[in-house]
């Protein structure tokens, strides 16, 4: 195999550079970010991107395309070098990441030199984790379908999914699906996870039993009790998101929760709002659910998740304080911290200390 960068790169034409610069100026205006500051921050990011080593094996032809892509990124970075602001204003990192995705997408859509490798850089090197996370809710269904080994790596499967399903989906009909991403609505990563989620659901839905079309009885009540609206002190969404990346806990929760609660839990851990989850349930699963019902089910699923993992990973005889087990059991029955403290007959401050110990114990067991 030819060494990286040894092929003579094909440069961008002047009009191609100008087109990319116009895209940058357009986004700077929409974001209301001073163009000189954006140019400087983006120039540094592009130079870093052009020096990054690729992931995976490439053919000789791929190395040639990669050399052209790297040379084009450096060429664009040099075009951004003048003028530079004397005192550059800070630019949010998220905006620079969006801009790099915008430029790589333009590379693909306009067939600039190195565009075939730009697909790989954009989808896998930059968003491989997003693709794997989009597949995460379907690990069990993929195992049942024989597409993934029970202890197989979801990241490794994501490469096959990218090659055989995601890439053709984004590339068909003159890249129509890839063109639908709107950078003004947010980063490409969350959008890409949703595309993967939809594709994975299409591949696995025939293997699932029919899901109910209406909310469960009694779940369409107006409003929610205060206990369902407060922030849960036992399990943060960031902690749940980390837990769902672990194979053992993932499998336990998938089996313990019903399918709808499982999907709600996973989307909530990704940061989806109640309204967005309700819309996704209706659009993809044909499950109609009010936003308030989603919130209720979300809080219930979070409590179930904590209790399931606690029973699996924590032994009562190992606890430093026997009251911790009573606190966790009461937590599983529902209610706010004040209500739990009242039921157990202990001060709220003391309950909060026991809650903090329970969280640390479970986190240490899982992580």
Cis previous bond, 83, omega within 30? yes
Q: How far apart are the first and last CA of the chain?
A: 41
Residue 155 CB partners (closer than 8 Å, separation 6+): 128, 132
Residue 61's φ and ψ, nearest 5 degrees, are -65, -40
138 and 118 housed in the same domain:
no
Q: Residue 213 falls within a domain, yes or no?
A: no
Shared domain for 135 and 119, answered yes or no, is: no
Domain boundary among 107, 126, 145: 126
Instruction: Indicate whether 238 and 351 sit together in one domain.
Output: yes
Judgement on whether residues 254 and 362 belong to the same structural domain of the protein = yes
Neighbours of 321 (CB within 10 A): 12
311 with 273, same domain: the answer is yes
User: Looking at 126, 154, 177, which one is the last position of a domain?
Assistant: 126
Q: Are residues 289 and 181 in the same domain?
A: no
Are 351 and 242 within one domain? yes
Domain co-membership, 151 together with 256: no
Residue 214 lies in a domain: no
Q: Does the residue 221 lie in any domain?
A: no
The one-digit pLDDT tens for each residue of the chain (367 residues) are: 344 444 568 889 999 999 999 999 999 999 999 888 899 899 999 999 988 877 666 677 888 888 899 999 999 999 998 665 555 678 899 999 999 999 999 999 999 999 999 999 999 999 999 898 888 878 777 777 777 877 778 888 899 899 888 999 898 888 888 998 999 988 999 889 888 887 887 777 644 444 333 334 344 333 333 333 335 567 777 778 877 877 778 778 888 888 888 888 888 888 788 888 888 888 777 888 888 888 888 888 888 888 888 888 888 888 888 889 988 888 888 777 778 888 888 888 888 888 888 888 888 887 6
Q: Does some domain include residue 260?
A: yes
Query: What pTM was estimated for this model as a whole?
Result: 0.65
| Tokens standing for residue 40 | 């400087």
Assess whether 167 and 278 both reside in one domain.
Answer: no
Instruction: Compute the distance between CA of residue 177 and CA of residue 82 in angstroms, rounded to an integer.
Output: 35
Do 55 and 120 sit in the same domain of this protein? yes
Residue showing tokens 């994501």: 158
User: For residues 287 and 264, what is the distance between their CA atoms, to the nearest angstrom?
Assistant: 12
Of 54, 23, 55, residue with least CA distance to 39: 23
The position carrying tokens 């989808």 is: 123
Domain of 79 in residue numbering reads as: 7-126
**Does 115 lie in the same domain as 146?**
no
> Is 215 a domain residue?
no
Please tell me whether residues 201 and 315 are part of one structural domain. Answer: no
How many independent structural domains does the chain possess?
3
Domain closes at, from 177, 208, 239: 208
Residue at 311 is within a domain = yes
């Amino acid at each position: 195999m030819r060494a990286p960068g040894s092929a003579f790169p094909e440069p961008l034409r002047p009009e191609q550079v100008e087109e990319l610069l116009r895209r940058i100026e357009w986004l700077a205006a929409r974001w209301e970010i001073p163009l000189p500051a954006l140019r400087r921050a983006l120039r540094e990011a592009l130079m870093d991107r052009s020096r990054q080593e690729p992931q995976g094996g490439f053919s000789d032809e791929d190395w040639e395309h990669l050399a052209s892509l790297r040379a084009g990124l450096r060429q664009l970075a040099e075009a951004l070098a003048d003028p530079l602001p004397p005192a550059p204003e800070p630019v949010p990192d998220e905006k620079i990441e969006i801009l790099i995705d915008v430029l790589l997408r333009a590379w693909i859509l306009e067939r600039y030199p190195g565009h075939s490798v730009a697909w790989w850089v954009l989808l896998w090197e930059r968003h491989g984790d997003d693709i794997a996370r989009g597949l995460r809710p379907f690990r069990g269904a993929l195992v049942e379908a024989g597409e993934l080994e029970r202890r197989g790596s979801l990241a490794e499967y994501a490469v096959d999914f990218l090659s055989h399903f995601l890439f053709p989906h984004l590339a068909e009909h003159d890249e129509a699906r890839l063109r639908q991403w709107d950078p003004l609505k947010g980063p490409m990563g969350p959008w890409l996870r949703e595309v993967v989620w939809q594709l994975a659901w299409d591949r696995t839905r025939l293997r699932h039993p029919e899901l109910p079309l209406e909310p469960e009885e009694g779940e369409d009540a107006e409003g929610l009790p205060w206990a369902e609206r407060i922030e849960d002190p036992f399990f943060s969404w960031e902690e749940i998101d980390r837990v769902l990346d672990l194979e053992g806990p993932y499998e336990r929760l998938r089996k313990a929760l019903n399918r709808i609660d499982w999907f709600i839990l996973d989307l909530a851990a990704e940061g989806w709002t109640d309204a967005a989850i309700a819309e996704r349930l209706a659009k993809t699963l044909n499950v109609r659910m009010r936003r308030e019902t989603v919130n209720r089910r979300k809080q219930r699923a979070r409590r179930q998740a904590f209790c399931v993992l606690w029973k699996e990973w924590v032994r009562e005889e190992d606890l430093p304080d026997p009251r911790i087990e009573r606190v966790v059991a009461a937590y599983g029955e529902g209610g706010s911290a004040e209500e739990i403290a009242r039921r157990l007959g202990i001060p709220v401050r003391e309950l909060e200390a026991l809650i903090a110990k329970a969280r640390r114990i479970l986190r240490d067991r899982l992580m």
